[in-house]
Amino acid sequence: MTAERQAAPQQRWPTGAQILWRYRANGAEHPHICRPVTVVRDTEELLAVWMAPGTLCIRPELADGTPVHHEPLATRYTKPRRAAFSRWSGMGVLKLARPQEPWSVWLFWENGWRFKNFYVNLEEPRLRWPGGVDSEDHFLDLAVSPDGRWEWLDEDEFVAAQRAGLLGEAQAGRIREAGQRAVEAVRSWGSPFADGWERWRPDPAWPVPELPEDWDRPPFNACLHRPPDAP
């Protein structure tokens, strides 16, 4: 392990710093989602970042240019893909992540800063490096309303990913267990749901972060843990 990787977990970014929030392609060794974000808070307990409207991001699409979610589930995870540029629209997203927790909590607003909902994204615990954090999406998610009601999202994609070999049986079981722990966190309504983040607002002086040309640079491939049964 290099000295750079040893130092990365202790690194704290100041408020206003610009970093990358990336996800690897499932079953592959490269990132397929990259979102430049601005650091809101970075402590031992929480990393909070803001993805501003208009941010240029990287997202996957099929090799023929078809948006991923326009492809039928039967072939959505088997057809070749490529990286594509996309600008984030809407009001922006506040992302909250606690170390070693296998999910992050996102906050969405409608026009006029009317709080819409929380979104629990199940994922690998994020690994830090000097330029940002890296993870792997686990398909299954939760939508949580302001009054605490919740529902599963993307269960069909979770099943399709298993059929396509992107998730092994043991890994899928761990993801389901993580989802149940996330449900318990929602039901208990502790942090971060009860912390008042829906009243947070970004600093108007923050510029929209730029997507660097080397957005897929290491140490993504080297640092992300993969469970032994992962494909």
What is the C-alpha separation between 74 and 76, in angstroms, rounded? 6
Q: Looking at residue 10, what is its pLDDT? A: 60
pLDDT tens-place string over residues 153-174: 999 999 999 999 999 999 999 9
Where in the chain are the domains?
Answer: 3-206
pLDDT band at 220 (very low <50, low <70, confident <90, very high): low
Q: Looking at residue 219, what is its pLDDT? A: 60
The dihedral formed by the CA atoms of 110, 113, 116 and 122, expressed in degrees to the nearest 10: 100
Q: For residue 144, what are the β-bridge partners? A: 118, 150
pTM above 0.75, yes or no: yes
DSSP 30: S
CATH code reported for the domain at 3-206:
2.40.380.10
Q: Looking at residue 180, what is its pLDDT? A: 98
If one compares 231 and 164, the residue with the highest pLDDT of the two is 164
Query: Across all residues in the chain, what is the average pLDDT?
Result: 90
- What is the 3-state composition of the chain as percent helix, strand, coil, each rounded to the nearest 5? 20, 35, 40
- Asked whether the predicted pLDDT for residue 228 surpasses 90, the reply is no
- Average pLDDT of span 213-221: 77
pLDDT tens-place string over residues 75-133: 999 999 999 999 998 899 999 999 999 999 999 999 999 999 999 999 999 999 999 99
Q: What percent of the chain has pLDDT over 70?
A: 90
Q: For residue 108, what are the β-bridge partners? A: 93, 117
Residues in the chain, total: 231
